[in-house]
Structure 1
């Protein structure tokens, strides 16, 4: 009797073991503490040569069937509460043996049943192999990363990789790592984003949506008011995506010292018809991950900048509008994140450019009450210059910023000084003046 009771206790203890991190490359096959399930008799096995760098990987092979099917490969239970900013990294290869490659999805179960976190198939590189067995030349690996921060409080949670087949094929998974991640940077004001960089989305921005069959893109031919050739856009025209939403989450912001935080951005949009009007929603979250709240939504007359048109919309230089949103209700927040969400109605193309978060209290009226500057800062009529008169003898670093956040002039002045601005395009500029004792932010 004692021996039986002892064995029972050991078994129960084994069931409740939770891992704090996972690093699995499947080089020893499917681990015994991983489980799997399928509605269509699809079994996850391993292959010794098709993995990343020709190593072993997990594979769901449904190439013998041209029908739809699904199977799930499940991790052991984990305790995420010990990890800071937990994230999952893994490699995947999706190969179809017909016209439609399969999809891969990520799920979690924390005791309340399985919930889907994300799906990637339509948004990543896929390949076709029409002649099984699978040829290594047709295996293209894609590295994926997904933040698990919204689940960080879970002490007993497991994850699952779903293989979702439409017309048969293969789903390969390798190098699964669940570990602490790097916390995204938190930016103070001002913050500018003009989408001029080579990477899209920009650093610390994040895509989200109701599915992954479409996403915001970077235009390399269209910029606000014709002042650049780049912007962010969403194509609601080419494919009917009605009822779906797709967004961009901005960087996280610290508004602790902001008095009148403000958001401005440029937008261009034309409907395809009155019956097909897409929407642009602005959302916010105090943790940057979950509990998103709608701040405002633009549609029809508050969004359109050009007449309806039945062809793909490309705005002219004059078919843009600048939108300003008062964020004063969030002044003092140490962490807030905003999102730009396109709600599709099979309308037309929506463009967004020059997203600018700033403190309106700082960028207006600062000259007259400055202690180290006189009011003698002004553009000189008839000349391409700006004159500065300082009331002290300190060195002053003067930086001119465009509304997109680029430094266009940087110079050091002492006492009086004149700066040549003949090479600047007409528009609004911000000047940051920094000396040994104070820092001033000025809008001209």
Structure 2
């Protein structure tokens, strides 16, 4: 059962709520949207992730007596808002792009509808989850493209917060990574887990051969032996001598990976271990993996640059009020920011996509009440919560397949990891009366 998440928010969310409870507007209707004004520099697309983690957290967004007492003691809320929070549970509706789908500048990836009070308190939680997981998935998808079918292991748990490590493994797997070293992610989400030994294992034995014998005895000849603790060529010879030609793989974690992989492949073949795979690790990202495309490497392990900011810039998603009513049950009116460089478009948006005859994505646009969608366009968002209850919960394998399918709908130039402009920018459709 998910623990209460009500306090996973910023103070100003609740001070705004307190004011709205006092002036009577907390119950007014409202629509909030999540979008990114721009993609990180050089990126051509983003991959939305985190929805499957977010929805249970919203369902658990409640406050117990101790939470409310502390909030009042700290002067965050008055008695009116305290009473509101004691019985709080989100009861609104949420539509979203399916997890694993692509997004572009202006894509309304998530829409929250409900009362002003219940929608505003979710802002911090929504952005915390979506910004983190989307940044991971967007970077991971680029690495998967660069790997061109060669499997990638997620192994960044030692480079981030222990709970973020689990979310990182999930997001990377959804984007196409083959497995993770994180056991908690394996248990929670059913992600395949892998891992054999680190340099400490070799150093703890009297010799590299003794270490390899111990590992092979425990894990079988199909294990992966880390061969760069001392000398890579000597390590490979020792590995094959100990495990025989059935050795599963050797891992190289240092040096010029292209050069060392080529020498490792040649030596393995010379020793008769023609089916033994070569796995490369060591600060890899999509650019390094692309540079290694011609090297005889059978798989990669990526840690730091998928789990931390050094590997991916922030998704920079924002959560903005786009429509509000002036009384309980009243009609919604569009609202928008006009400040320089942070302009938003008012009105509840519906996103649409058009595809060519080959199924490639051509255009994404949005309509607001009073405008019409292009003929034949497909709606992007799906219902994910109704009345505060989750109604859309695909498992990780389904999301993973959907992500791969979404990426196949981009032309090759849009999948390039080289710096470029966004493949699409999402703009308003026509201004005619909406009929779709």
TM-score (norm 1): 0.23
Between structure 1 and structure 2, the one with the greater Rg is 1
Greater per-residue helix proportion: 2
TM-score (norm 2): 0.24
Greater per-residue strand proportion: 1
